[in-house]
Structure 1
Amino acid sequence: MEQKPVLQESYTKRSIAGKQAFSAKGFFLQWEWMLVLILLLVIGINTSLSPYFLSPGSLRDGTMAFLDKAFIVFPMALVMILRDIDISVGSTVALSSVVMATAYNKLGIPMGAALLICLAVGALCGFINGYLIVKFKELSAVIITLGTMILYRGIAYIILENQASGNFPEWFKLFGWGYVNGIPLILILFVIAAAVYSLLLHKTTFGRQIYAIGNNPTASRFSGVQLDRIKIIVFTLTGLMAAVTAIFLASRMGSTRPNVANMYELDVIAMAALGGISTAGGKGRMAGTIIAIFIIGYLQYGLGLINISSQTLLIIIGLLLIFAVAVPKLKVRRKTR
């Protein structure tokens, strides 16, 4: 009886690595290291231009001049990762501060309650933006927030016309000029906000859903991700943080008027984009965004010490924004060749 040959199959073991192997080259070629070099360059230039810049006191107190708008950068990063944009943040700051001042000075509402009203107005403005964006999907976020930018600023002018409103209580100055053990209060609150938003984006399911939506909205929807709800939450957070900025700005200035926070949206978007937040959505980290805040902030503060005009600052920020958008595109082209 003839025996049939037995075929022996050979199997090779395969293993899937849970983590990617560490690469020193890949680590040091990350965008954040480029931002560190830019920050050092900005500090070096400012030091050569002004002898008053490079000192612990100047570097510490300089943060009080630009960290108010930095609170909006964190939720703006989430908005941009979602493939959206919000250009109404400056107008939201103006409207929130005007309502707060009017509630305190004209309606006699206690300042503590006026602060809560300010936060509520900002959150409402953000909610309206988010609701309109998910309700009218055929319209881009740029068009919708352009409309609300004009609307919110117009309401602020209706309330105060072109007048200033101040006379805040003495303790209100602590938000803009206060110290805690020699450290500016605004810097302490900025660090807390940076930690909260970093954890929210990188360590929670909500953050992973934001990345998923930014990478592929259609696939995310079929995977059960509630796109509309997440967008409304993110835009509401943006409005809320704009109201936080309104409190710090009004405290630092001692008053408010309808034209405050003009062009804030340019600085905020520039900080997020320079920090590596992709304008195409789905990419970016908070670490780069935080470094970019100090790059643009110290650039404005240092050049302000030598009385550089605001128009020149706008040109420099615009060039940085073009640089932030162009460099990643060049890297992609090199890889595809």
Structure 2
Amino acid sequence: MAEQRIKVMIVDDSAVVRQVISQALMADAGIEVIGTAADPIFALQKMNAQWPDVLVVDIEMPRMDGITFLKKVMAERPTPVVVCSSLAEKGAQATFEALSAGAVSIITKPKVGLKNFLEDASNDIVQAVRSAARANMRAVRTTAAPATFSGFRPKLTADVMLSSANNAALVKTTEQLVAIGTSTGGTQALEIVLSKLPATALGIVVVQHMPEKFTAMFAERLNNLCQIEVREAKNGDRVMPGRALIAPGGRHMMLKRNGAQYVVEVVDGPLVNRHKPSVDVLFRSVAKFAGANALGIIMTGMGDDGARGMKEMHATGAHTIAQDEASCVVFGMPKEAIKLGAVDQVIALEQIPQAIVSFGK
């Protein structure tokens, strides 16, 4: 039986974007572009006649902005959405609002050289749509709930430094750390996990597949939501209790040991498993330098990046966890790690914060 084609609608006020993305998608035999629209009002009219499997949506459009459109779609009929966004700071912030509202993926587009960029990125666009078509929209709706700021204490105050953990616990955590790898759906999943951790949680290193220049803003957003400090990693940053380091887009991040302390090395290099940063690169370095002192967690994401690295972590005595299928937006990465026998536990997203806290005790 022939594969059922993925029905896509493109909503963008740029005729060039609509044309080039349409051509890229229609070159794939498994994808059918059922319509394009210059703004969400036109799109909704067309969608009433035939609803797409995936939407490719701009953020800034006339008559209705992309985020309002996204919220409307998610309220009426949750549908996988791939966001097209400029790398401008304002656009990046809007992109995170879209991810919080339920978008599953990002395609970045420059403000100049747009046509050439989209033609060069045609394979990435096709893969983003294919990944989105497999998204578990029930999980997207769960993870897109707005974060709450209530109950959080200010970071870097005496109150935080003297909270729950005692001196013995702090000494213990200096030799332990948590390594997390995630991709599609990971922005929402990381928000849920990190925002529930106490200020004294173990040091955390994270690879989230994300384009260059977006990770700094993503880390800043999380830092404002969490009791722990969250920041984009810089070369030589120390992994320490109460801090999460996010690998910068376009760079690999590796764990190193500096005496009794763990630090990160941020380096350029080739794509690994089609990604930079790569989860495998991080996990393999954690296996080498931390071994049984590490907790490895692989979460929602397309593909198999991280599976082999987690297998190495498991072999060196690390405790390893995979997010379960029901709570994943895309079960690809956890599924591949499980298939390799790299995983000790399979648990729901909501259980991961407690697993991190328990490992540190």
Structure 2 length-normalised TM = 0.21
User: Which structure has the larger Rg over C-alpha atoms?
Assistant: 1
Which structure has the higher relative contact order (CA within 8 Å, separation 6+)?
Answer: 1
Normalized per residue, which structure has more helix?
A: 1
